[in-house]
Amino acid sequence: MSLHAATPANDQGQHATDAAAGQGQDVTEQVYRLADRARKASRLLARANRDWKDRALRQIGATLDANRASILQANAKDLEAGRANGTSAAMLDRLKLDEARIDGLIGALEELAGLPDPVGTVLRGETLPNGLRMRQVSVPMGVVGTIYEARPNVTVDIAGLALKSGNAVLLRGGSAALNSNLALVGLIRDALEKVSLPRDIVISVDEYGRPGADALMGARGKIDVLIPRGGRELIQRVVTTAKVPVIETGEGNVHIFIDESADTDTAVDILLNAKTQRPSVCNTVETLLIHQDAAAGRSVLKELSKAGVRLHTDPRAAELAEGLDPVQADEQDWANEYLDLQIAVKVVDGIDEAMEHIAEYSTGHTEAIITSSLQNSERFVAEVDSAAVIVNASTRFTDGGQLGLGAEVGISTQKMHARGPMGLAELTTTKWIVQGDGHIRK
């Protein structure tokens, strides 16, 4: 059975041709037309069973593997343009693809293929007293729109998650990664065709620029849900502007609290990992809170400074950081998502002050405590209100792949529908199925 034959076989190049031919036409109309094609593809995808979808995921991985050179060549153009535009080292790191990161993308696709299909899961079911048979089952959302920045790896992650969860997806990946994203989307669409699935399961609107993103935000009735992924400015623009239902994700003013009982070696290892392993991502720690009696404080600051991290300290933390060239923190530092080798540091009287600070400045992403006290860890877990709360481990574990989800479309910081890393289950909704034998309501 071929689902591909039922949809147009237009590739990404055809999109560019359509755009050129449609100069003078409204971008919104063109994006809506793409959304309609995605809707048709999503209905056809609903017929595909798990084996078919898993075969497609593995075919995408094989296609990426066979086309590494072209992917890296496209990415090199984006990196070159980024350097010419003065893009920061942290942002260039987010943009960069290399052999190891391509390996990671292929591995994530393989992991997705190994996960259960979320579609069709029976969440509850029973036979009612009147004999009606009722089930609530998980079903795809339909058409998912995503707007994200300078992260070509996200293109593959979201496409894979959408495919496995039975959704079509419209991608707006930003101008900084334009060449990389178009190359990846083209390869993904080719792979879908090879397994007789509709190419229009995955569509990019990158060539329409910011007006294309605006069209996605206004596509109520065309797109079922819109997921932004990026910095505060992007996320807030989507949340406040979109007419489409939005899942708010990912601004990460992440905190770690070192309490008075924390082991020094453990604290040093966790902070170095949470701040320096990949500072440009949303689960990196941005604010460090240190108990005034914590023996680990000075050692942690010394090792962070040796690793090239700039310390923004309050007066008491500045004393701990003496000789480490700290800068004085101001109010903005407590709310800042640096996404760079910088960290805000505050000394607190105890766990109550630490949790009050987190409650005031947290974005609801991830908070962690380093402690040897069971009582303090239990209080922290119970009272801190964030999507992820971590005890004695790096905040870098707030990640779909690390938590066994295969990949993630983003980290939801809201409380409705989905919260935390959004994997396959979070890209489904539910349907009620009621079966009777000629029942009528009396």
Domain parsing of the chain, residue ranges: 25-241, 255-401
pLDDT confidence of residue 411 = 85
Neighbouring residues of 277: CB distance < 8 A, sequence distance ≥ 6: 284, 394, 396
Q: CA 363, 361, 225: angle at the middle one, nearest 5?
A: 15
Instruction: Tell me how long the chain is.
Output: 442
Look up the CATH architecture of domain 255-401: 3-Layer(aba) Sandwich (3.40)
Please tell me the distance from the alpha carbon of residue 191 to that of residue 329, in angstroms, as a whole number. Answer: 50
pLDDT confidence of residue 144 = 96
Please tell me the distance from the alpha carbon of residue 224 to that of residue 142, in angstroms, as a whole number. Answer: 6
Q: Please indicate, yes or no, whether the overall pTM of this predicted structure exceeds 0.85.
A: no
In the beta sheet, which residues pair with residue 283? none
pLDDT confidence of residue 70 = 97
pLDDT confidence of residue 439 = 94
Please tell me the distance from the alpha carbon of residue 316 to that of residue 347, in angstroms, as a whole number. Answer: 6
CATH topology of domain 25-241: Aldehyde Dehydrogenase; Chain A, domain 1 (3.40.605)
Classify residue 396 by its DSSP letter.
G
* Contact present, 165 and 428 (Cβ < 8 Å): yes
pLDDT confidence of residue 160 = 95
Low-confidence ranges of the chain (pLDDT < 50): 5-10, 12-24
Structure tokens that stand for 140 in this block? 């795809």
In this structure, what is the dihedral angle of CA atoms 388, 389, 390, 394, given to the nearest 10 degrees?
A: 50
pLDDT confidence of residue 25 = 59
* Contact present, 251 and 229 (Cβ < 8 Å): no
Structure tokens that stand for 22 in this block? 């449609």
pLDDT confidence of residue 404 = 79
**Chain centroid to CA 425: how far?**
14
